[in-house]
Amino acid sequence: MPSGGATSGDRPEPPEAAAGRSQTERRTGAVRARAGRPGPNGEAVPVAVSWDERARRPVAFVWRRRRYQVERVLETWVLETGWWRDDGHVSRSYWRVRAGGRVVDLRYDRLAKSWALEREIG
């Protein structure tokens, strides 16, 4: 799979959005669920990925203008759905990886031939 994508334009939550909530509320419930999604509106963000063809796995990626070396692949899976419809076909490969002290889900969209960071687990 080829490298692709770009760095994200992530921005932290603006202070005025968090002003009405306590410190505990900011880290719980829906707020925490949204925090797992890297994009400003909870969507996946494009990333540039270095791919090892022999090992058939990602070895590094660039996110928020920083290069992360993949330390370990924790899990892989494939999502293939909607192939029977013209407008809803989804074909993606996923890698849950540990990199730079973080655990993230990287996805490769087989149809668009592009990489994205789906979510940050921790």
Q: Which of 20-34, 36-50, 59-73 has the lowest mean pLDDT?
A: 20-34
- Tokens 């892989």 belong to 76
DSSP E strand stretches across the chain: 45-46, 48-52, 57-63, 66-81, 90-99, 102-109, 114-120
pLDDT digit string, tens, across residues 58-103? 999 999 999 999 999 999 999 998 888 878 889 999 999 999 999 9
Question: With contact defined as beta carbons under 8 Å apart, do 34 and 21 qualify?
Answer: no
Query: Residue ranges per domain, the chain?
Result: 44-120
- Tokens 């002290």 belong to 101
Q: How far apart are CA 14 and CA 10, in angstroms?
A: 12
pTM: 0.66
The pLDDT of residue 82 is 84
